[in-house]
Amino acid sequence: MTLKNHPIKENTMAKFIVFGNQKGGIGKTTLTILMATGLSQPPFNKRVLVIDNDNQKSAIRLREYDEKNYEKDQPPYLIRAMSYQQIVASISDIDEMYDYVFIDTPGKLDANLPPESQEVTKILLLTDYLFMPFKAGALNLDATTDYVKILLQAQQHRSSSNRPLMIYGVVNFYKERSRINRELKEELIYLKENIGLSFMETPLKQYISYEYLNTYETMYLPKSNDPANMNFSIFLNEFFKKTQG
């Protein structure tokens, strides 16, 4: 089986976005929920769908937890569990109903399958923007090599379409004045030079408030003095700009 057998996303209006990396615990679900919660509310007011494609169903579970506390309120966006096949089957409806579609994919690749047969790879053929989270100081280049290979394959397969796959690195868990930052800088330069990976300028810093992830309440409060709200507001503004093209 090759990638050629899989449909490339048509020129849909909705933006399909994946925070992807084969490493677990790197912030894929956190970033997905933060962006979805932010963009679905003022001043963005986008029609947002989160598709939980991960077996662990972290996004679904976060929403179920919140639903108990926000009984009376309508959630600002839906979180639905869907397989690749289900996404493909309803892609035109999804495209009509939403502006932003985030797909939370599994961290682990299936060790028994070649890159082109992985569900994650097929999902990348439907994706417009792939944001790859990196953890400052724990960036193990070997561990990401397979994923980068998959990305480049998907990107090449997509390059003939009118919606190429855009790839950005994102630094997560960033701590200011940390010794690991020098190490991180070197690794980022390596990734830029060797695989042409460009990075978001704003890192997502490490803050407790990001751990108390909430699927209802936006952290986009640009006038707040809270450091996490300030960091997130700058981050979301840059993210919004990058995904407007």
Given the rule CB under 5 A, which residues bind Mg ion? Answer: 28-29, 58
Q: Give the Cα-Cα-Cα angle 115, 136, 195 (nearest 5 degrees).
A: 40
Contact flag: residue 131 with ligand ADP (CB under 6 A)? no
Contact flag: residue 227 with ligand ADP (CB under 6 A)? no
| Closer residue to Mg ion in complex, CB, 58/209 | 58
Residue 101 tokens, joined = 């579609």
Among Mg ion, ligand ADP, none, partner that 127 touches (CB below 5 to 8 angstroms by kind): none
- Please say whether the beta carbons of 121 and 154 come within 8 A: yes
Instruction: State how far the Cα of 91 lies from the Cα of 65, in Å rounded to an integer.
Output: 28
Q: Report 95-114 residues binding ligand ADP (CB under 6 A).
A: 107
Among Mg ion, ligand ADP, none, partner that 218 touches (CB below 5 to 8 angstroms by kind): none
Contact flag: residue 206 with ligand ADP (CB under 6 A)? yes
Instruction: State how far the Cα of 70 lies from the Cα of 6, in Å rounded to an integer.
Output: 40
Instruction: State how far the Cα of 93 lies from the Cα of 70, in Å rounded to an integer.
Output: 28
Helix, strand, coil shares, percent, the chain, to 5: 40, 15, 45
Contact flag: residue 127 with ligand ADP (CB under 6 A)? no
Contact flag: residue 229 with ligand ADP (CB under 6 A)? no
| Closer residue to Mg ion in complex, CB, 20/76 | 20
* Nearest distance in Å: CB 212, ligand ADP: 8
C-alpha 143: how far from its chain's center? 18
Among 29, 53, 127, 243, binds ligand ADP (CB under 6 A): 29
